[in-house]
Amino acid sequence: MSIKITGYETHDVRFPTSLTGDGTDAMNTDCDYSSAYVTLLTSSDLVGHGMTFTIGRGNDIVCAAIKELAKRLVGKDVEEIFANMGKTWDYLSADSQLRWIGPEKGVIHIALGAVDNALWDMYARSRQKPVWKLVVDMTPEELVNATAFRYITDALTREEALAMLKAKESTKAEREARVRELGYPAYVTSAGWLGYSDEKVARLTREAVHAGFNHFKMKVGADRDSDLRRGRVIRSIIDDPQYLPQGQPPRDPNGPDLVGKNAGPTGSVLMIDANQVWDVPQAIEYVKSLAELKPWFIEEPTAPDDILGHAAVRKALRPYGIGVATGEHAHNRMVFKQLLQAEAIDVCQIDSCRLAGVSEVLSVLLMAAKFGVPVCPHAGGVGLCEYVIHLSLIDYIAISGTMERNVLEFVDHLHEHFLYPCSINKNGRYNVPSDPAEGYSIEMRKESIAEFEWPHGSYWAGAAQKTQ
């Protein structure tokens, strides 16, 4: 008997991270990390979980959009959905009246990310594989059929994508074995939030070095003197061999994984992130004034849709050895297409649910591989680390074939709320998700939903009582 999708549930889950300063940057000064969460239900016990990330108010609006999109799946046969996930993605994005209030951007698009991700979670659970393993085990033809290609064929055709995937096919098993053994390289942002004191920055940086990390990111853009001071604090620790884990020698700053990254004497790398706060000329001058910190790149120096602005910033900063990264707030694959075509970025930063789910992410991974730009996903927030390790594994094993220069963001917040939390090994690398039941690793604990659902969860109801 065929299994059909019978309904859905949504939850507006918000965590009070604004109380501790987690997530603070020059643009976003008051963040309550939030999940617009959906569970797709079927005529069997098979389910699919997905979410998209916000920072508080408006999370309810995203949940409302998720419901409208999920309605389109009710009554559909799951195996027909799974047979061609690219076609399914096209169907979900093609409701003309919902599309009108995008199109393919904003609330509707990130809601589509939650729904598409829930379908991929369901698909992986039905095959008893984590999502990354489901995708890397696909044939090149199946993977191309799972990808969203509309509007990008001037940069990458299906035929080109198929040829790229076939070229990597015979060596997938070797890369899978290697990453299972080593883990996937990570970088840490947890020490660099603007809302932290210098003492907290120093303590968290020392802890991160001791944990094996050698790439570190700090937020900038609110105050130049403060940025320089905090950057010097971080550099004084990450460049000092005394803080390295016992017995670990310094890395070679000119090794193939670090050359061109402005690595310090221990092989440690610093990145800076402005979260869109500057105009283009302001970005150029401000980052020049931080050149002594020797950042590998400036992330989101200006408006995320400004392709030519990013290209101008990149050209101006190239003599200083500073690159440009963006993508956390890139609306869709077309923005990434143009960033790559305009040679506007050195690093491509996908987001697992601002892009509309796995099918659209695959299109960006394929384009970035064609253009030779490393993908270093955004993973701050709640649930994003759980998501993106799957995407980086897909990129390394099946698409780009390299993780030498890649680093995946790790933020040590809120993992305890998930049944299958991500984890980091002693060398500062993500462990490979390996539980056959975990799907996309995004299933949230029922008790966490009960406590933090807005506005009637036990935490928020208690907080409201205290203010009365």
Which pLDDT tens digit goes with each residue over 232-243?
999 999 999 999
CA dist 92 and 100 (Å) reads 13
Q: Is residue 280 part of a domain?
A: yes
List the beta bridge partners of residue 14.
34
Provide the pLDDT for residue 433.
Answer: 98
Q: Is residue 149 part of a domain?
A: no
Q: Is residue 122 part of a domain?
A: no
Q: Is residue 163 part of a domain?
A: no
Provide the pLDDT for residue 192.
Answer: 79
Residue numbers of the domain that contains 262: 172-430
Q: Is residue 350 part of a domain?
A: yes
| Residue 76 confidence (pLDDT) above 80 | yes
Between 22-26, 158-162, 254-258, the lowest mean confidence (pLDDT) is in: 22-26
Which pLDDT tens digit goes with each residue over 416-443?
999 999 999 999 999 999 999 999 999 9
Which pLDDT tens digit goes with each residue over 350-403?
999 999 999 999 999 999 999 999 999 999 889 999 999 999 999 999 999 999
Instruction: Please tell me the total count of domains within the chain.
Output: 1
Provide the pLDDT for residue 467.
Answer: 67
Q: Is residue 298 part of a domain?
A: yes
Contact 101, 91 (CB under 8 A): no
CATH number at residue 307: 3.20.20.120
- What integer is the mean pLDDT of 1-7? 95
User: Would you say the pTM of this structure is higher than 0.85?
Assistant: yes
Residue 219 is among the residues annotated as catalytic for this protein? yes
Q: Is residue 364 part of a domain?
A: yes
Provide the pLDDT for residue 293.
Answer: 98
User: Of the residues 129, 168, 378, 390, which is catalytic?
Assistant: 378
Length of the chain: 468
Contact 98, 64 (CB under 8 A): no
**DSSP output for 76-132:** -BHHHHHHTHHHHHHHHTT-HHHHHT-SSSHHHHHHHHHHHHHHHHHHHHHTTS-HH
User: Of the residues 11, 219, 261, 294, which is catalytic?
Assistant: 219
Contact 218, 234 (CB under 8 A): yes
Residues with Cβ within 8 Å of 422's Cβ and at least 6 positions away in sequence, in order, are 385, 386, 389, 410, 415, 430, 431, 433, 441
For the chain, the 3-state helix, strand and coil shares in percent, each to the nearest 5, are: 45, 15, 40
Q: Is residue 240 part of a domain?
A: yes
Residue 11 is among the residues annotated as catalytic for this protein? no
